């Protein structure tokens, strides 16, 4: 053996040294990965051809090996790591020759590119990367961070370390709206770093908090890291659990687990929400605590508000806390009491199928034993009892076609149980009511009559809905009944919007906040998958940027505003009316609704094209599209190059060698801890893209093939990868900040400043390790 190392070990060393050399050479990373694959394969092939690379494999023909298999051990459970005393036999790392390995790599790379880049199941999800990048770069070029930093500084500046806290808040906000780490770090470095230094802030604290806050886009959804990890995690988890089920003697993972072995990007977004907020809170808490112990290095700063009517504490508590909470409590109470709820009385043509047992019990003895070990004897006994009850009732009730009489009976029953107020009307009244209340609180001295009239109109709208609208009322009739109080309420909200627009905090935060809620709400609520939501975000970002551009130039943004209202009208009409006008029996009101929705769609598209023209004429759209193309091309080029590098590692047995080593440990926690430590160390020299596409596919079959929740595993990896942006000496966030920092801020300042935040990342990982419920609680509450 060369240098006393196994041939596969030497091959792995060659691959990673070649990769590191390619990255550190300054050659574009996207091409360095593919080049490293070609060069490392050539070196390994030459060494193998010369007989210098010998792999010490377990001798499967030995008596000791046969004794282990006779004891019931599977071949994949027998390795030289778990049983080092087993006889070994030397063999080439390319048993069939490097020519065969090269031929397989060439054919596999074509198939993998087709499956994962061009036409596979994950391509639709990967398109979300393009849309989210476009959304983020557009918002960054619209200079949203400028106003956010100024406004948040006014809010938090008077606190100890307030400027640092405001940077964290803005970083979290930009993470949810842009998610582009480089753009966020550069923007906040240009805007806030000089201000913090002039205010007497320590260069270490200022640079550390800017670098760390800029990386929140890696974990707070919508996160490109989670999109890329999710496409891999779904495949890895499904395949690993199928292998695990078959190894246990079960037919498939659904039988063994009692649930489908799937994990989606949308579910991962839900899981990442609280961890992202937790990290932002830890950053802000550190900045505040640092200021308390070192007041001279993080002093409070008083920044005078540009415009704000004086508000007493009691007025603030009443209008900004008390009444909104009361209104929300009344709405929730209405749902709980049955006053607000579904009014859907539609009945399908078929009955619902009967419930099945919680676990499949018609399995082999080995599968039964494995399922009892996994789920517990109590869960198995409960499933057996459920199955016995189902069998006694004649088996699982199958769905059958309902007669007209049965459909009528079900419809009458649903009509009797329908709530008097529909959820759509109730939520609309809640949102508009909160707008009116906040407007009153912003300007207590202004004339309250328009707001009072609007509140009365909302009350009348709810009364009309309860008194005159039933589940059998057609949408057209309901619109006629509610249109007058709704128009009055919207007239009052127009007055309220003018007052709210005079408040800096609401004027700056509200537009991007609506965009964030629309994008994340559609994903987290299960309304759509990440790709259409990302397209919505990209379109909304373009219109928001155009609105800001027109406002800065003193031109009317009316077309953008009316286009936004047209989108809302199109959605409202589409939800409440039947748009299927191709049917035989179509109501006249549905035809009118279709025409209104189609006209709204046309005007919305016109406003979007107009927004693109405004940005193009303002020389904003061209660099946005160019930068989006560059970032997206880099991601997909790295994806292709990493597939080639993975195939090289697989070809000489490197992947199997690493997985065998990890499976030699009895504890899943030990295996996962080793993987997390390796990822943390690799983060010092590798970017998150290289780690996702090169390392995760190698260790994924092991860490996703156990009992750990795949959501928890993926989010732990994502938080760990976030650290790769901060760890010296090659953390990308540090280079971004170094490029825009003033001369008096040295690289040493940046490195020393970021070290505490790397420690906070470790603390955050520890909290998620010991309290996995932080990751899983939101998906459990929302549902998949």
Q: What are 250-260's pLDDT values in tens digits?
A: 989 999 998 88
| Helix spans in 178-304 (H) | 181-198, 203-214, 224-247, 253-257, 265-293
Does residue 380 surpass a pLDDT of 90?
yes
Does residue 172 surpass a pLDDT of 90?
no
Range in 61-75, 325-339, 376-390, 440-454 with the lowest mean pLDDT:
61-75
Q: Residue 199: pLDDT band by 50, 70, 90 thresholds?
A: confident
Q: What is the mean pLDDT of residues 41-47?
A: 91
Range in 143-147, 365-369, 691-695, 742-746 with the lowest mean pLDDT:
143-147
User: Which pLDDT does position 97 carry in this prediction?
Assistant: 81
Boundaries of every domain in the chain: 2-121+628-669, 142-308+692-782, 332-343+413-604, 352-399
Highest mean pLDDT (candidates 80-89, 371-380, 404-413): 371-380
User: Which pLDDT does position 284 carry in this prediction?
Assistant: 92
User: Which pLDDT does position 180 carry in this prediction?
Assistant: 66
- Alpha carbons 478 and 542: distance in angstroms, whole number: 35
Q: Answer for the pair 761, 722: CB distance below 8 angstroms, yes or no.
A: yes
Joined tokens for residue 301: 């700063």
Q: Provide the percentage of residues in the chain whose pLDDT is more than 90.
A: 29
Q: Is the dihedral of CA 257, 260, 263, 268 positive or negative?
A: negative
Q: Answer for the pair 469, 415: CB distance below 8 angstroms, yes or no.
A: no
Q: What is the mean pLDDT of residues 339-350?
A: 80
**Residue 56, helix vs strand vs coil:** strand
Neighbours of 416 (CB within 10 A): 8
3-state helix, strand, coil in the chain (%, to 5): 75, 0, 25
Helix axes 475-501, 588-617, angle to 10 degrees: 30
User: Which pLDDT does position 463 carry in this prediction?
Assistant: 94
Q: Answer for the pair 275, 174: CB distance below 8 angstroms, yes or no.
A: no
Neighbours of 403 (CB within 10 A): 10
Q: What are 621-647's pLDDT values in tens digits?
A: 999 999 888 888 887 888 788 888 888
User: Which pLDDT does position 67 carry in this prediction?
Assistant: 86
Closest CA to 751 of 268, 324, 211: 211
Of residues 145 and 745, more confidence is placed in 745
Q: Residue 683: pLDDT band by 50, 70, 90 thresholds?
A: confident
User: Which pLDDT does position 484 carry in this prediction?
Assistant: 94
Does residue 672 surpass a pLDDT of 90?
yes
Find the largest Cα–Cα distance for the chain: 95
Q: What are 718-733's pLDDT values in tens digits?
A: 999 888 778 887 777 8
Q: What is the mean pLDDT of residues 404-410?
A: 81
Q: What is the mean pLDDT of residues 160-175?
A: 85
Q: What are 503-520's pLDDT values in tens digits?
A: 777 877 888 888 888 888
Q: Is the dihedral of CA 189, 190, 191, 195 positive or negative?
A: positive
Q: What is the mean pLDDT of residues 442-446?
A: 82
Range in 119-133, 141-155, 447-461 with the lowest mean pLDDT:
119-133
Of residues 21 and 186, more confidence is placed in 21
Q: CB under 8 Å to 205, separation ≥6 — which residues?
A: 161, 164, 287, 290, 297, 298, 753
User: Which pLDDT does position 117 carry in this prediction?
Assistant: 57
Neighbours of 93 (CB within 10 A): 23
Q: Residue 524: pLDDT band by 50, 70, 90 thresholds?
A: confident
H/E element holding 315? Answer: helix 313-317
Closest CA to 225 of 236, 216, 234: 216
Q: Residue 320: pLDDT band by 50, 70, 90 thresholds?
A: confident
Any bridge partners for residue 90, and if so which?
56
Does residue 606 surpass a pLDDT of 90?
yes
User: Which pLDDT does position 546 carry in this prediction?
Assistant: 93
User: Which pLDDT does position 64 carry in this prediction?
Assistant: 86
Cis bond before residue 729 (omega within 30° of 0):
yes
Q: What is the mean pLDDT of residues 161-181?
A: 80
Q: What is the mean pLDDT of residues 369-392?
A: 90
pTM summary value: 0.85
**Residue 200, helix vs strand vs coil:** coil
Q: What are 63-72's pLDDT values in tens digits?
A: 888 888 888 7
Does residue 132 surpass a pLDDT of 80?
yes
Joined tokens for residue 99: 């020519």
User: Which pLDDT does position 416 carry in this prediction?
Assistant: 84
Q: What are 240-290's pLDDT values in tens digits?
A: 999 999 988 898 999 999 888 888 888 898 899 999 999 999 999 999 999
């Amino acid at each position: 053996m060369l240098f006393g190392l196994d041939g596969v070990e030497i091959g792995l060393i060659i691959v990673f040294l070649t990769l590191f050399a390619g990255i550190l050479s300054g050659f574009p990373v996207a091409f360095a990965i593919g080049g490293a694959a070609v060069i490392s394969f050539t070196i390994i092939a030459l060494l193998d051809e010369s007989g210098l690379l010998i792999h010490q494999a377990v001798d499967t023909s030995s008596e000791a090996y046969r004794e282990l298999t006779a004891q019931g051990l599977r071949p994949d459970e027998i390795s030289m790591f778990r049983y080092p005393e087993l006889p070994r036999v030397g063999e080439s790392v390319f048993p069939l020759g490097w020519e065969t390995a090269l031929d397989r790599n060439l054919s596999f790379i074509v198939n993998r590119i087709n499956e994962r880049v061009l036409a596979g199941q994950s391509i639709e999800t990967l398109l979300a990367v393009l849309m989210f990048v476009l959304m983020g770069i557009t918002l960054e070029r619209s200079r949203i961070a400028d106003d956010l930093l100024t406004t948040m500084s006014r809010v938090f500046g008077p606190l100890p370390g307030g400027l640092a806290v405001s940077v964290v808040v803005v970083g979290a906000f930009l993470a949810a709206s842009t998610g582009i780490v480089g753009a966020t770090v550069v923007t906040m470095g240009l805007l806030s770093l000089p201000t913090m230094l002039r205010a007497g802030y320590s260069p270490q604290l200022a640079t550390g908090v800017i670098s760390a806050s800029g990386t929140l886009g890696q974990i707070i959804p919508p996160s490109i890291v989670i999109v890329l990890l999710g496409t891999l995690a779904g495949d890895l988890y499904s395949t690993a659990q199928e292998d695990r089920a078959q190894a246990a003697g079960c037919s498939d993972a659904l039988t063994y687990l009692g649930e489908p072995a799937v994990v989606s990007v949308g579910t991962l977004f839900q899981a990442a929400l609280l961890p992202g907020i937790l990290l932002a809170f830890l950053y802000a808490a550190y900045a505040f605590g640092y200021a308390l112990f070192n007041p001279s290095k993080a002093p409070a700063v008083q920044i005078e508000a540009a415009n704000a009517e004086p508000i007493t504490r009691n007025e603030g508590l009443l209008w900004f806390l008390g009444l909104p909470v009361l209104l929300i409590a009344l709405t929730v109470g209405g749902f709980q009491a049955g006053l607000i709820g579904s009014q859907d009385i539609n009945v399908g043509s078929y009955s619902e199928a009967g419930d099945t047992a919680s676990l499949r019990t018609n399995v082999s003895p080995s599968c039964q034993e494995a399922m009892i070990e996994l789920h517990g004897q109590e869960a198995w006994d409960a499933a057996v009892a459920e199955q016995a009850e189902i069998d006694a009732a004649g088996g699982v009730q199958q769905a059958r076609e309902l007669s007209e009489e049965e459909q009528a009976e079900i419809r009458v029953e649903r009509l009797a149980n329908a709530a008097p107020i529909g959820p759509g009307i109730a939520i609309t009244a809640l949102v508009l009511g909160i707008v009116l209340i906040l407007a009153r609180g912003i300007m207590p001295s202004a004339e309250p009559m328009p707001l009072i009239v609007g509140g009365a109109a909302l009350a009348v709208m709810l009364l009309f809905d309860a008194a005159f609208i039933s589940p059998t009322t057609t949408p057209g009739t309901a619109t006629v009944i509610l249109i007058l109080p709704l128009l009055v309420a919207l007239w009052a909200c127009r007055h309220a919007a003018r007052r709210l627009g005079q408040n800096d905090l609401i004027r700056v935060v509200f537009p991007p906040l609506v965009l964030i809620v629309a994008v994340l709400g559609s994903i987290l609520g299960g309304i759509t998958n990440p790709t259409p939501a990302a397209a919505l975000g990209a379109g909304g970002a373009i219109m928001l940027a155009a609105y800001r551009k027109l406002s800065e130039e003193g031109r009317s943004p009316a077309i953008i505003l009316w286009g936004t209202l047209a989108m809302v009208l199109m959605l409202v009409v589409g939800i409440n009316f039947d748009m299927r006008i191709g049917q035989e029996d179509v109501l006249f009101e549905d035809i009118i609704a279709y025409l209104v929705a189609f006209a709204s769609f046309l005007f919305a598209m016109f406003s979007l094209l107009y927004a693109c023209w405004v940005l193009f004429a303002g020389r904003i759209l061209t660099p946005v599209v160019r930068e989006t193309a560059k970032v997206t091309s880099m991601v997909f080029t790295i994806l292709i190059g990493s597939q080639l590098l993975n195939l090289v590692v697989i070809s000489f047995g490197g992947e199997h060698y690493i997985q065998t080593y990890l499976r030699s440990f009895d504890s899943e926690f030990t295996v996962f801890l080793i993987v997390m430590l390796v990822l943390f160390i690799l983060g010092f020299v590798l970017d998150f893209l290289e780690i996702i596409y090169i390392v995760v596919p190698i260790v994924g079959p092991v860490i996703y093939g156990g009992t750990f929740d795949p959501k928890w595993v993926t989010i732990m990896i994502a938080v760990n990868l976030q650290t790769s942006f901060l760890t010296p000496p090659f953390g990308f966030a540090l280079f971004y900040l170094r490029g825009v920092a003033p001369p008096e801020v040295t690289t040493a300042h940046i490195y020393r400043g970021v070290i505490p935040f790397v420690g906070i990342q470790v603390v955050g990982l520890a909290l998620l390790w010991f309290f996995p419920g932080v990751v899983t609680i939101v998906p459990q509450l929302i549902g998949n």
